Amino acid sequence: MTRSATLTYGDKRIELPVIEGSEGELAVDVTQLRAQTGLITLDPGYGNTGACLSTITYIDGEKGILRYRGIPIEELAERSSFIETAWLLIFGKLPTQAQLDHFSARLTAHAPLHESFKHHFEGFPVNAPPMAMLSAMINTLCCFYPEVQDMTEEDFFEEATRLVSKVRTIAAYTYRRSLGLPFIYPDPKLRYVTNFLHMMFSMPFDQHIASREVVEALNLILLLHADHEQNCSTSTVRVVGSSRANLFSSCAAGVCALWGPLHGGANVAVLDMLEAIHKGGLSAEHTLEMAKDKKSGFKLMGFGHRVYKNFDPRAVILKKSADKVLGQLGVNDPLLDIARRLEELALKDSYFVERKLYPNVDFYSGILMRAMGIPTNMFTVIFAIGRMPGWIAHWKEQHDSEGGRIARPRQIYTGPTTSAYVPVSER
């Protein structure tokens, strides 16, 4: 039976269809609201607005559930890899061995950048923000592969694979540029994550081979960040893509949205907080008391989540990885000691437990990447590499949707009413 919601406005009474998702979530369809009543909805931040129908990722924040294409994140973290998960998100189902082998081969083939790319990097100041370079260079791919502008269905696989592959090379080069180091070519014998770390940390005639623990941890970080439903950057990719902007440009816009400190920069904020605690000589106990005091002006970063009102399932997975990796690496770092003490105390403190302010994925990803030797200014870049498959999947879904319209939100105008122009001599 088709359900509906009744809206009464003045002497008008209209029925609005109620749409039910596959997991039982309900939404009032207001697409005809303005036409039938002259009304629009107002929802700053879009917290109560469904902008699309999607088959990619499901989140239940109350229960701490995250699934990619129906598969629980816990199963993927335990049994899959970032590359296999990328295929799952982009193409809708787990790959066969032949498909996975072909995908991996194309990723290897697409890893090198055109030699002229070096000149573009050399045009940036050495201290240019890596995220600024990353966004610019992803957009620059359109110049080297203009066919993406008129991509057919048959071309999609190649262009999507090109982007997933080259984003890590671009990311590594942004890091090398920031230090004035020579660019390191990708090694076709190395797998995706190992190759990225090679391009980051190798020197000419001195190849860096990352430890198994570091490779597994970074693979897990990328996998857990591969998609997260309609977040700010993913929504940006879909909005830009709705204008029929190409795949590369749309994802470059996603990088810009991710750059914001309230989104992809959250794990950087965690490390900045830990640094401030360390420099200030504060104890973890005093820090938590400051966090509980609303008058202190101090905010505890890396705890709680806008969507999850329970444990962030990604944080649960990364906590186990952090405990394992930090122990195996034997890293002696005062910031990591502070982080682990904060975590230990907060999980026992009734103030945080009752409010469900648990450490989130940004808390653990930050301390893990620091332990791996990845500098703070590269944290958000790593996030972008991980999120790329999700952005591509959402761009494709939005691009293929029937009757897809360009995104064009409305507004409630609150400015001055009609005003007369006053010549400058009379002002």
Residue numbers annotated as active site: 305, 362
Q: Which residues pair with 88 in a beta bridge?
A: none
Angle separating helix axes 156-179 and 97-110, nearest 10 degrees:
40
Q: Which residues pair with 19 in a beta bridge?
A: 27
Cα–Cα distance for residue pair 407/131, rounded to 1 Å: 25
Cβ distance 392 to 163 under 8 Å? yes
Instruction: Indicate the DSSP class of residue 359.
Output: B
Query: Any idea what the Cα angle at residue 330 is, between residues 311 and 276, rounded to 5°?
Result: 60
Cα–Cα distance for residue pair 85/382, rounded to 1 Å: 16
Estimate to the nearest angstrom the gap between the alpha carbon of 92 and the chain centroid: 19
Cα–Cα distance for residue pair 325/216, rounded to 1 Å: 9
Q: How many residues does the chain have?
A: 427
Cα–Cα distance for residue pair 200/211, rounded to 1 Å: 14
Cβ distance 304 to 361 under 8 Å? no
Query: Any idea what the Cα angle at residue 88 is, between residues 87 and 91, rounded to 5°?
Result: 70
DSSP 319-344: HHHHHHHHHHHT---HHHHHHHHHHH
Q: How many CB atoms lie within 10 A of CB 411?
A: 7
Cα–Cα distance for residue pair 427/420, rounded to 1 Å: 12
Cβ distance 341 to 284 under 8 Å? yes
Cα–Cα distance for residue pair 106/399, rounded to 1 Å: 23
Cα–Cα distance for residue pair 264/261, rounded to 1 Å: 6
3-state secondary structure of 61: coil
Cα–Cα distance for residue pair 169/186, rounded to 1 Å: 7
The maximal CA–CA distance of the chain, rounded, in angstroms, is 80
3-state secondary structure of 206: strand
3-state secondary structure of 387: helix
